[in-house]
Amino acid sequence: MTFLQRLILSSVLTAVFFAGCETTRDIQYDLEPAAHLEAMWFGGVELDYVTVLFDVEIDNPYPVSLSLQRLRYALVSDGHTFLTGTALDNVTVPPNTKKALTLSDQVTYVRLLRALGGEPGSTIPFKAELTLSLDAPRSGWINLHAEKEGDIILPESPEINVEGITYNAVDVVYVPTPQDVVDKMLEMAEVKKDDLVYDLGCGDGRIVVTAARRYGCKAIGFDLDPRRVEESLENVQKNNVGHLVEIEQKDIFTLDLSKADVITLFLLSRLNVKLIPQLEKLKPGSRIVSHSFAMEDIKPDKVVTLISREDKSEHTIYLWVTPLKKEAGE
Ligand SMILES: C[S@@+](CC[C@H](N)C(=O)[O-])C[C@H]1O[C@@H](n2cnc3c(N)ncnc32)[C@H](O)[C@@H]1O
């Protein structure tokens, strides 16, 4: 090996050695990166979505940039985790700096409301637990943890305008009942061929269509949302039950229920309660079945819980037989 070749090799080895030292120094650096959760808050409430925002400060004491790739979060209230999610963002934290940033995710308003069991505007104590995954050149992934406890105020629901009338958007959110839960609701209501079944807020019409197909009875589905009415009409047509089932675009709070024998509901509890004056006008012996939501102060005649094969979740069905009975002590 010539002198020149030896010189080149020695310079290359020196460069490799120092590069190696730098890597080692990164990992052994005295100060570790850290994350602080300064605040968690709800941003804009869209028709169906709420934006959850996290104000985070990342302290990068390393002489290299850190790249934030992912934030995983869990929100805990009253000992149970009510919301988890992932926010993906690609933010660079320069060497030797503290960087304040706001990371966001979107959750459906109904998911948030159901998870917290609260009314819009109510205050809920919470703990937010964050894991921030950062990519550090040469030393690989670093997971930083940050927590914060506090109170959150559930944002008010946005409003929706249907044919000139303004409604609370959450009240009219559409979530279908799994088919096996529909079957159980109708079984609990002991539907007969001569019955008239009303589904108040009929969604895609699955309950009224099932009642007609399975029991040969007449049924009417009511919904405010024109999209749901259209879907229900298609469902009726597809199942050839047009001679038994009607679909009407109506506000359920304007209906006279006195002709119905069976009422099916999958509405929030407060809407069930709002319906009581109308339900009290049902004929004696009429049956009301509600998926998931009870009716405050009114004692159910039967409550059944089942696990749906469709979503593997537990569903509760309430049955009331008229006349409605107040809970004891009311
Ligand atoms: C949770 S979905 C239930 C759909 C269907 N009953 C089921 O169980 O699959 C509630 C439905 O009620 C409708 N709704 C809510 N408030 C209403 C009102 N005031 N008048 C008519 N429909 C309403 C919504 O548009 C939505 O389609």
Which residue lies with its CA nearest to atom 8 of ligand 1? 177
C-alpha distance across the termini of the chain, in Å = 101
Looking at the predicted structure, is the pLDDT value of residue 35 above 80? yes
Between 318 and 27, name the one with better pLDDT. 318
Q: What is the mean pLDDT of the chain?
A: 85
Atom of ligand 1 nearest to the CA of 251: 20
Q: How sure is the predictor about 16, in pLDDT bands with cuts at 50, 70 and 90?
A: very low
Between 288 and 64, name the one with better pLDDT. 288
| DSSP annotation string for 91-150 | EEE-TTEEEEEEEEEEEEHHHHHHHHT--TT-EEEEEEEEEEEEEETTTEEEEEEEEEEE
Q: What is residue 210's predicted lDDT score, i.e. its pLDDT?
A: 98
Looking at the predicted structure, is the pLDDT value of residue 277 above 50? yes
Q: What is residue 220's predicted lDDT score, i.e. its pLDDT?
A: 98
- Which percentage of the chain shows pLDDT scores above 70? 87
Alpha helices in 173-324 (DSSP H): 179-188, 206-215, 226-238, 269-274, 276-279
What's the mean pLDDT in 151-173? 76
Q: What is residue 17's predicted lDDT score, i.e. its pLDDT?
A: 30
266 CB under 6 A from ligand 1?
Answer: yes
CA of 167 to the centre of ligand 1 (A): 12
Atom of ligand 1 nearest to the CA of 253: 19
Atom of ligand 1 nearest to the CA of 167: 19
Atom of ligand 1 nearest to the CA of 265: 6
Looking at the predicted structure, is the pLDDT value of residue 197 above 90? yes
CA of 250 to the centre of ligand 1 (A): 11
109 CB under 6 A from ligand 1?
Answer: no
Q: What is residue 87's predicted lDDT score, i.e. its pLDDT?
A: 80
What's the mean pLDDT in 193-212? 98
Between 45 and 230, name the one with better pLDDT. 230
Q: What is residue 127's predicted lDDT score, i.e. its pLDDT?
A: 93
Q: Which residue from 161, 250, 252 has its CB within 8 A of the most atoms of ligand 1, so it is best to mutate? A: 252
**Interval 294-329: pLDDT, tens:** 998 899 999 999 999 998 888 999 999 999 999 876
Q: What is residue 8's predicted lDDT score, i.e. its pLDDT?
A: 37
Q: Going from the N-terminus, what domains does the chain have, and what CATH number goes with each?
A: 31-153 (2.60.40.1820), 174-321 (3.40.50.150)
Task: Using the Cα atoms of residue 66, residue 71, residue 75 and residue 80 in order, give the sign of their dihedral.
Answer: negative
CA of 312 to the centre of ligand 1 (A): 23
Looking at the predicted structure, is the pLDDT value of residue 91 above 80? yes
How far apart CA 146 and CA 129 sit, in angstroms, is: 6
223 CB under 6 A from ligand 1?
Answer: yes
Q: How sure is the predictor about 113, in pLDDT bands with cuts at 50, 70 and 90?
A: confident
How far apart CA 236 and CA 244 sit, in angstroms, is: 9
Range with top average pLDDT, 3-17, 54-68, 129-143 = 54-68
**What is the helix (H) or strand (E) element at residue 219, kind and residue range?**
strand 218-223
What's the mean pLDDT in 176-180? 96
CB burial string 137-175: b at 16+ within 10 A, e below: eebeebebebebeeebebbebbebeeeeeeebbbbbbbe
CA of 221 to the centre of ligand 1 (A): 10
Of the candidates 132, 152, 170, the one whose C-alpha atom is nearest the C-alpha of residue 83 is 152
CA of 61 to the centre of ligand 1 (A): 54
Q: How sure is the predictor about 185, in pLDDT bands with cuts at 50, 70 and 90?
A: very high
Q: How sure is the predictor about 147, in pLDDT bands with cuts at 50, 70 and 90?
A: very high
Looking at the predicted structure, is the pLDDT value of residue 19 above 70? no
Atom of ligand 1 nearest to the CA of 225: 25
On the CB side of 130, CA atoms within 13 Å amount to 31
How far apart CA 238 and CA 135 sit, in angstroms, is: 53
CA of 207 to the centre of ligand 1 (A): 12
Looking at the predicted structure, is the pLDDT value of residue 160 above 80? no
What's the mean pLDDT in 202-231? 96
Residue 85, phi then psi, degrees to nearest 5: -170, 175
171 CB under 6 A from ligand 1?
Answer: yes
225 CB under 6 A from ligand 1?
Answer: yes
Task: Compute the residue count for the chain.
Answer: 330
Between 189 and 105, name the one with better pLDDT. 189
Q: What is residue 11's predicted lDDT score, i.e. its pLDDT?
A: 37
On the CB side of 260, CA atoms within 13 Å amount to 26
CA of 271 to the centre of ligand 1 (A): 10
Of the candidates 181, 152, 144, the one whose C-alpha atom is nearest the C-alpha of residue 290 is 181
| Range with the poorest average pLDDT among 73-77, 96-100, 287-291 | 73-77
174 CB under 6 A from ligand 1?
Answer: yes
> Could you tell me which residues come within 8 angstroms of residue 211 by beta carbon, excluding any fewer than 6 positions away?
186, 191, 197, 217, 219, 262
pTM value is: 0.68
CA of 174 to the centre of ligand 1 (A): 6
Looking at the predicted structure, is the pLDDT value of residue 12 above 70? no
